[in-house]
Amino acid sequence: MKLRTSRRGAVKLASLAMTGVLLSGCGLSSGSSVPLQVEPGTIQRVPELEGVTITVGSKAFTEQLVLGYIAEFALSAAGANVRDLSNIVGSSTARRALASDQIDILWDYTGTSWISYNGNADPIPDARQQYEAVKQQDLERNGIAWTAIDYQVDNTYAFAVNQEAAHRLGVEKISDIPKIIAERPEDATFCIDTEFANRNDGMPGVEQEYGFTADKSKVKTLTEGSIYQATANGTCTFGEVFTTDGRIRSLNLKVLADDHQFFPRYNIGITTRDELLKRYPQITGVFEPVSAKLTNEELMKLNAQVDVDGRDPADVARDWLVQQGLVRLPDGQAAAR
């Protein structure tokens, strides 16, 4: 999905995207150490996880980096020996890393698994039904288990416009786009990222569902981080965004309604290999209190601290866990500022 570079020295997997070859060695010994230390809070030590080496991965965009570090600190508080293998470029690459034992824990999105990993064409609008279908299919087909699902977070795709364009063009919903293309083709410009341009649940699917074909010369492919500003300053009229991104609010963008309910539900949950979850079912208990406190609003704030305020994702993740009482700082340490 989105690309974001952490300032900490996390192991990078950019080479995987180019070569398709996983890093050598066992996944449970790969990666770097957790960048910050925490002590147990309401997440207590779990005897069964004490000293167990668990490698946490994340995709290479802000929300995933924050979530990845949240997972690392939660497991560290529980007593696990956590390895950091964050910033994996590309959703499919991250999923392959999980399936092949290169990583053990990955926050993922139900819609991504349903559409991109499992190849289903039609999303299921009901979040719980979508989750149950993904959970069953991933387990039966791929040996991947889902746990600690969070229905409060739905980081789905959307299109946004700036306030001037919204007022001038009178757009409120995605089904208004065909009219703009027909009547005001000069305004029918789009900014999207490379992955969205090719995903079944991205631009090709949107065009098919809503009955329009964008002029390819008016579709700009940008890095995810550039799209929000390009939409705000009018470089493009319609920008691909994610509904938990803090830049929507900071740049005062208007999100268009997905009135055909095309985009799948992108509820987050912990994914791991089924054999690992069966061996350590206590993993669920570590993450359920985390999921209970994460909402779209909370994630939007956390993402904004990175993308708008320039804070490090690891600092943001640890401070949030401390504020929620889930972990505490080691004696003598203060929260990052």
CATH of the domain at 162: 3.40.190.120
pLDDT at 1 over 50: no
Q: How confident is the model at residue 15 (pLDDT cuts 50, 70, 90)?
A: very low
Q: What is the pLDDT of residues 198-220, one digit of tens each?
A: 887 899 999 999 999 999 999 99
pLDDT of residue 156: 94
Q: How many domains does the chain have?
A: 2
pLDDT at 88 over 70: yes
pTM of this prediction exceeds 0.85: no
Whose tokens are 């972990």? That residue is: 327
Tell me what percent of the residues of the chain surpass a pLDDT of 70.
Answer: 90
pLDDT at 224 over 50: yes
Q: How confident is the model at residue 23 (pLDDT cuts 50, 70, 90)?
A: very low
Instruction: Tell me if 4 is assigned to some domain.
Output: no
**Residue 11, Cβ neighbours under 10 Å: how many?**
16
Same domain, 72 and 210: no
Same domain, 176 and 147: no
Residues of the domain holding 284: 14-155+267-328
Same domain, 29 and 138: yes
Same domain, 92 and 211: no
Same domain, 32 and 142: yes
Identify the helix (H) or strand (E) that includes residue 58.
strand 53-59
Whose tokens are 């924050």? That residue is: 66
Identify the helix (H) or strand (E) that includes residue 210.
helix 203-210
Query: What DSSP line would sit under 148-216, residue for residue?
Result: EEEEEEE--EEEEE-HHHHHHHT--BGGGHHHHHHH-GGG--EEE-HHHHH-TTSHHHHHHHHT----G
Instruction: Tell me if 130 is assigned to some domain.
Output: yes
Same domain, 19 and 135: yes
pLDDT at 89 over 80: yes
Least confident of 94-98, 124-128, 288-292: 124-128
Q: Give 31 or 126, the one with higher predicted confidence.
A: 126
Same domain, 116 and 151: yes
Same domain, 144 and 170: no
**Domain boundary pick from 255, 290, 306:** 255
pLDDT of residue 18: 33
Q: What is the pLDDT of residues 293-306, one digit of tens each?
A: 999 999 999 999 99
pLDDT of residue 70: 98
Same domain, 74 and 22: yes
Instruction: Tell me if 221 is assigned to some domain.
Output: yes
Q: Give me the half-sphere count of Cα atoms (radius 13 Å) on the Cβ side of residue 278.
A: 7
**Domain boundary pick from 235, 255, 275:** 255
pLDDT at 54 over 90: yes
Same domain, 88 and 236: no
Least confident of 16-25, 231-240, 255-264: 16-25
Specify the DSSP class assigned to residue 229.
H
